[in-house]
Homo-oligomer: A and B are copies of this chain.
Amino acid sequence: MSITRGRAVTISDVARAAGVSRAAVSKVIRNAYGVSPGMRERVEAAIGDLGYRPSIAARALRGSSYRLVLEIPYVSVFMTQIVEGARRAIAGTPYQLVLAPAEGIEYGTIDSLADGIVDGIIAVAPLVDPAWLEELAGRVPVVMLGRHDRTERYDTVVGDDHHGTRLLMEHLFTLGHRRIAHVTEPETVTRPGSGTPHANRLEIYRACMAEAGLTDLVQVARRRETSRDEAREATDRLLALPEPPTAIVAGHDDIALEVLARITGAGRHGRIAVTGYDNTHVAAHPLIDLTSVDQQGVEMGAQAATMLLERIAGRAEARHWMATTTLHARGSTTGVTV
């Protein structure tokens, strides 16, 4: 029933065509030491003639697959920055990058990635258990994105949520805001003490409010799940308050976009300040004009990939890299009078 699939050319076919051993071919394709120019030439000719391509599966079984995987919980604009950075860092190496969108909780996805087809893993998985990750890192090199835990077994690349959030809060205080609310991710990823980026931003938000003597005015709205509709829902709850906020700090740009949408829908665009996080390109769009914090997404991706390559090359000591954050003030705050 199944249609005939052409037989793949194997290393043996090449060896036969070139009149050499398979080991010789293997050495040629790996640029290993100990091949005469003459042999290299014949082998390469045979490879060209036959259109030979080494089987990744067979390679992975014995050594490396030259695959790096970037696991992401969802495809978002910020993630495209990460991907772009990783791609750049890998360019010119023999490695290839693949992305694995995780389904819900990441254990299964990551585990199955580690099952033999990748030489290293970069993952965004704020909720997985550190102990589990250590075990994983014992099987395959791992770099974690957005985790603030520090361990010897895997590297981390994080943003400076502390500084970034403070930049935003101080900006809003300077503009005269006091009734500042926060719209963020679901409870699962913002649980106090969990150390996720969004939990941190939430904590800093609370801390800043407290330091300004505004604890009473703290208002946090979490969306119930990671969907745009739920972000709008959460915004609506804030807008429906007896005393609505004069400024809303969103967990990141994607959420901020929905906040802006609801504010606009309520006919109050330009009357409530809004901030995002990540400084994605839409934030800079003149029709959106969203104040945001840049945390070097592209550079984060590049660092993660570079660190992973170092791990694969043999580095055993952990490295932890933190991105710097900069405020990009735009009309969504500067154009709003309290």
Binding site for B on A (CB under 8 A): 1-6, 8, 53-61, 65, 67, 69, 75-77, 79-80, 83, 87, 91, 96-101, 103, 109, 111-112, 115-117, 135, 138-140, 228, 257, 260-261, 264-265, 269, 281-282, 285-288, 314, 316
Contact = CB atoms under 8 A, between A and B. Distances in A.
A58 B56 contact: no
A301 to B, nearest CB: 12
A5 B154 CA distance: 12
A285 B232 CA distance: 12
Nearest to A109: B96
- 3 shortest A-B CB distances, which residue pairs? A57-B60, A57-B116, A99-B99
Contact of A56 (B77, B112, B261): B112
A243 B135 CA distance: 66
A117 B67 contact: yes
Given A6-B138, A117-B117, A57 B65 contact: yes
Contact of A139 (B8, B96, B101): B8
Nearest to A58: B61
A240 B282 CA distance: 25
Given A56-B117, A83-B75, A261-B285, A316 B228 contact: no
B116 A56 contact: yes
User: Which of A6, A135, A260: most chain B Cβ within 10 A?
Assistant: A6
B112 A96 contact: yes
B54 A115 contact: yes
Given A101-B83, A109-B96, A287-B264, A314 B53 contact: no
B288 A117 contact: no
A61 B53 contact: no
A285 B257 contact: yes
Nearest to A87: B101
Nearest to A228: B281
Contacts of A103: 87, 91
B99 A316 contact: no
B117 A60 contact: yes
Contacts of A111: 53
A245 to B, nearest CB: 19
Contacts of A261: 285-287
A6 B114 CA distance: 12
Contacts of A75: 75, 79-80, 83
A69 B76 CA distance: 19
A170 to B, nearest CB: 26
A179 to B, nearest CB: 23
Given A65-B57, A260-B287, A98 B96 contact: no
A288 B282 CA distance: 10
A137 to B, nearest CB: 9
Contacts of A4: 138
A99 B96 contact: no
A55 B101 contact: no
Contacts of A2: 314, 316
16 contacts: A5-B139, A5-B140, A6-B138, A54-B115, A56-B115, A60-B60, A75-B79, A87-B103, A96-B109, A96-B112, A97-B100, A97-B101, A257-B285, A261-B285, A261-B286, A282-B282
